[in-house]
């Protein structure tokens, strides 16, 4: 089976490569293969994969047609993870990489009749949030995208737009699409290791450095999590199995409230857990003060992912059972991640 992956060098991508190279050869679309491939092969082997089963194809989501060679062998599945993942992205570059890049990957999958395992995010299942943003159905032409970018920022808006546009392309044509919708990604369930650029790292860092005196939101608010290795296993079977549902919500419904999450982490970090809540609108207002987001290491856009909505994971639960994949205990994942954070200080 020929598999192609974008975003292989990223936090999730490396774990997906480690998982898939145990049984498959894998072609990674890399922007600078000469320098990136040797490092990635080593990282993949260190994560329990077989680095030598990983091969590189030069390409870039920012280039027309992804800048891929014309004679690319038709892959059976394409896993698309490559994206600009940061707060404060300017809308034009967020759109270029995350929306136009995703559509180019979807076109490639359609041309080669490959399955596309497309990574969106769990907020695509927060229907109340989508309604507030004016995203009422899957018709991208009926959405005021400028408003969406203004309201939620370049990263989230571009992820929402990419998902809605890729879905529209799939429904109008012949595209085998599986959309994986991850929650905020936590560390590895055994080692707890997490990239420093990940949002959960920023949360732990804020807690450890005493920048988290209050809990954003109410007692009902939570930041749904998924362990990176569990997500990687889910994506691997989404690419290689038959009978995969169209959407897989990669979110652990047993994630505690934000208060509970912070209490577990604070205990391991030797900090007092915050007890009082600060309403999100008030916090968002405070974060408008110039310099405060940087000082607090908290960007208003990140607050959208802390919300009270609960999600129905029944379809994913059934698929996990069918595949013999069990979710690791999310409380143990939080403990492992906080312990890993403490040990690296
Ligand atoms: N982590 C989460 O909590 C989370 C949750 C939901 C969804 N997701 C989605 O999952 C995917 C992977 O996330 P991740 O956490 O693994 O991200 P990451 O660590 O930031 O990795 C991003 C990947 O995208 C590649 N990339 C391609 N073009 C890029 C460009 N113009 N600018 C920056 N990077 C570019 C990077 O390659 P280079 O090495 O060449 O820079 C890297 O491989 C993204 O689509 C993200 O939206 C993540």
Q: Domain holding 14: CATH number?
A: 3.40.50.720
**Does residue 215 fall inside a structural domain?**
no
| pLDDT on residue 81 | 98
| pLDDT on residue 295 | 84
Q: pLDDT-based confidence at 317, cuts 50/70/90?
A: very high
**Does residue 29 fall inside a structural domain?**
yes
Q: pLDDT-based confidence at 78, cuts 50/70/90?
A: very high
| pLDDT on residue 22 | 97
Q: pLDDT-based confidence at 21, cuts 50/70/90?
A: very high
* Mean pLDDT to the nearest integer, 43-52: 98
Q: pLDDT-based confidence at 191, cuts 50/70/90?
A: very high
Q: Higher pLDDT residue, 10 or 72?
A: 10
Assess whether pLDDT exceeds 80 at residue 1. no
CB contact at 8 A, 280 and 221:
yes
| pLDDT on residue 211 | 93
Q: How many CB atoms are located within 10 Å of the residue 71 CB?
A: 5
CA of 137 to the centre of ligand 1 (A): 26
Residue 78, strand partner residues: 4, 116
The atom number, within ligand 1, closest to the CA of 93 reads 31
Q: pLDDT-based confidence at 288, cuts 50/70/90?
A: confident
* Mean pLDDT to the nearest integer, 148-157: 97
Ligand 1 proximal residues by C-beta, below 6 Å: 7-13, 31, 61-62, 81-85, 97, 119, 121, 159, 182, 184-185, 195, 197-199
| pLDDT on residue 340 | 98
Mean pLDDT lowest for which of 176-180, 210-214, 288-292, 329-333? Answer: 288-292
> Following DSSP, what letter does each residue of 97-143 receive, concatenated?
IIIIHHHHHHHHHHHHT-EEEEE--GGGG-HHHHHHTT--SS-GGGS
State the Cα–Cα distance between residues 51 and 62, nearest whole angstrom.
Answer: 26
CA of 272 to the centre of ligand 1 (A): 33
**Does residue 193 fall inside a structural domain?**
no
Q: How many CB atoms are located within 10 Å of the residue 189 CB?
A: 18
| pLDDT on residue 190 | 97
**Does residue 273 fall inside a structural domain?**
no
| pLDDT on residue 290 | 87
**Does residue 240 fall inside a structural domain?**
yes
**Does residue 267 fall inside a structural domain?**
no
**Does residue 71 fall inside a structural domain?**
yes
Alpha carbon nearest to ligand 1 atom 5, residue = 184
| pLDDT on residue 298 | 86
CB contact at 8 A, 90 and 78:
no
State the Cα–Cα distance between residues 162 and 145, nearest whole angstrom.
Answer: 11
Q: pLDDT-based confidence at 173, cuts 50/70/90?
A: confident
Q: Write out the residue range of the structural domain in which residue 87 sits.
A: 3-188+224-252+310-328
Best residue for ligand 1 mutational test, from 35, 83, 97 (most atoms within 8 Å of Cβ): 83
Question: What's the number of domains the chain is made of?
Answer: 1
* Mean pLDDT to the nearest integer, 86-96: 96
| pLDDT on residue 65 | 87
* Mean pLDDT to the nearest integer, 119-137: 95
Q: pLDDT-based confidence at 167, cuts 50/70/90?
A: very high
- Per-residue pLDDT tens over the stretch 258-273: 999 999 999 999 999 9
| pLDDT on residue 136 | 87
Q: What is the mean pLDDT of the chain?
A: 96
**Does residue 180 fall inside a structural domain?**
yes
* Mean pLDDT to the nearest integer, 124-133: 96
């Amino acid at each position: 089976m020929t598999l192609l992956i974008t975003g292989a060098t990223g936090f999730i991508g490396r774990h997906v490569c480690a998982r898939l190279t145990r049984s498959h050869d894998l072609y990674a679309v890399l922007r600078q293969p000469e320098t990136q491939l040797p490092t990635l092969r080593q990282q993949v082997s260190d994560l329990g994969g077989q680095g030598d089963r990983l091969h590189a194809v030069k390409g870039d989501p920012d280039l027309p047609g992804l800048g891929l060679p014309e004679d690319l062998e038709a892959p059976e599945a394409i896993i698309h993870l490559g994206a600009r993942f940061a707060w404060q992205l300017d809308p034009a570059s967020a759109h270029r990489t995350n929306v136009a890049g995703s559509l180019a990957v979807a076109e490639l999958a359609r041309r080669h009749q490959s399955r596309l395992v497309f990574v969106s995010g769990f907020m695509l299942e927060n229907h109340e949030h989508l309604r507030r943003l004016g995203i009422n159905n899957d018709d991208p032409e009926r959405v005021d995208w400028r408003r969406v970018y203004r309201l939620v920022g370049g990263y989230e808006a571009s992820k929402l737009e990419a998902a809605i546009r890729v879905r529209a392309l799939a429904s109008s044509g012949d595209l085998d699409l599986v959309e994986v919708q991850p929650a905020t990604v936590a560390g590895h369930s055994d080692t707890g290791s997490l990239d420093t650029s990940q949002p959960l790292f920023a949360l732990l860092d804020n807690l450890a450095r005493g920048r988290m005196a209050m809990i954003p939101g109410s007692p009902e608010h939570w930041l749904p999590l998924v362990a990176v290795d569990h997500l990687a296993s889910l994506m691997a079977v989404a690419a290689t199995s038959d009978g995969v549902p169209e959407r897989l919500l990669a979110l652990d419904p047993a994630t505690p409230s934000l208060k509970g999450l912070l209490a577990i982490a604070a205990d391991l970090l030797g900090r007092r857990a915050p007890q009082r809540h600060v309403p999100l609108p008030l916090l968002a207002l405070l974060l408008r003060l110039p310099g405060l987001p940087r000082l607090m290491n908290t960007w208003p856009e990140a607050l959208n992912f802390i919300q009270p909505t609960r999600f129905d994971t029944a379809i994913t639960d059934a698929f996990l059972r069918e595949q013999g994949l069990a979710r690791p205990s999310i409380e143990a994942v939080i403990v492992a991640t906080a312990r890993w954070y403490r040990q690296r200080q």
